[in-house]
Amino acid sequence: MKKGIVLSVAFLFAVVMIMGAAPTTAQAKVQFVTIGTGGITGVYYPTGGAIAKMVNKKRKEYGIRATVESTGGSVFNINAIMAGDLEFGVAQSDRQYQAVKGIANWKDKGPQKDLRAVFSIHPESVDLIAAVDANINCLADLKGKRVNVGNIGSGYRKNALDALEANGLDYKKDFHAESLKAAEAPGLIQDGRIDAAFYTVGHPSGYYKEATSGVRKVKFVPITNIESLLAKYPYYAKSATLMKNYPGAVNTEASVPTFGVKATLVTSIKVPDNVVYAITKEVFDNFETFKKLHPAYEGLTKESMLTGLSAPFHPGALKYYKEVGLK
């Protein structure tokens, strides 16, 4: 009888322990992080997926569960990270620079002191595509046309406006500017509702595949007269977009001249070191596997992924770079 009571008390105790303690232990173990990306036909979206995949493979070891969110792009991502709504985001190198300095979109808010760099990723070029029937062969030909310059939260909107300004064009006066999210533009070109569209993205991208494979013929328009931009802004460099990626484009030349930036991974100083360390380590320790996850990563080297950044490195990333001698 007595033994029975002792046993049932012990049993009850065990049940209480399991019911009470187990869920809290499990909760404490898993840290959920979200990576902000861009439109689903861009390269940020699969990039967020590639990074999440690397760290989620070791879910048991790190207790981190990374998920990906499609967003309006670079400016949205930086602002959402600063507001604590996202832990990580992909952002153009020029946007990272502007946020750190408190210029352009951050002129009123001031320098984003908590912004931290993790690593840079693929190169992105600023491109303009136009329907062949709209007769647009250079930026000056955009006069009077319907042109997408990009949504407010995007990184590429400012690149479009800079390119236009360098060519003496004012988007408010010289043509009908649309502020569409990138993912919408290819369909609207095909439907005849816009004539041309800017976008800054890595290659190859689903966006240009979609834009160049419809019935309405589309071409890449060279972006020239950019010397003033290259002189004025440290983050812009000359680049060329390879046409072999887009056999549906009407262009016959091998590449189309333009300028470009880099995609980068950013976070906040408020994100714990162990989380940033784990993401950095998984991408770099499994670099060859990571590189195979998207053709835009073809030219990446570990060293190149530590360049093009203007925010200070997050301490979690820096810890890894020091361990392996990259810093």
List contacts with ligand GLU (CB under 6 A): 38-39, 42-44, 73-74, 92, 124, 154-156, 200-202
CA distance 311 to 118: 9
Determine the Cα–Cα distance for residues 189 and 215; give it in Å rounded to an integer.
Answer: 10
- CB of residue 172 to ligand GLU, shortest distance in Å: 20
Considering the complex, what minimum distance in angstroms separates the CB of residue 202 from ligand GLU?
6
Give whichever of 49 and 214 is closer to ligand GLU, judged by the CB atom.
49
Q: How far is the CB of 62 from ligand GLU (least distance, A)?
A: 26
With b for 16 or more beta-carbon neighbours within 10 A and e for fewer, the 56-92 pattern comes to eeeeeebebebebbbbbbbbbbbbbbbeeebbbbbbb
Beta pairing class for 31-36 and 64-69:
parallel
**Minimum distance, C-beta of residue 116 to ligand GLU, in the bound complex (Å):** 18
Provide the minimum distance between the beta carbon of 27 and ligand GLU in the complex, in angstroms, as a whole number: 33
Residue nearer to ligand GLU on the CB measure, 6 or 242:
242
Closest to ligand GLU by CB, 62 or 156:
156
Nearest to 48 by CA among 311, 294, 260: 294
Closest of 219, 209, 192, 213 to residue 127, by C-alpha: 219
Residue number, 95 or 219, with CB nearest to ligand GLU? 95
Asked whether the beta carbons of 214 and 235 are under 8 A apart, the reply is no
Calpha distance 34→38 (Å, rounded)? 13
Complex with ligand GLU: residue 96 or 190, whichever CB lies closer: 96
The two three-digit tokens of residue 199, written as one number: 């976008």
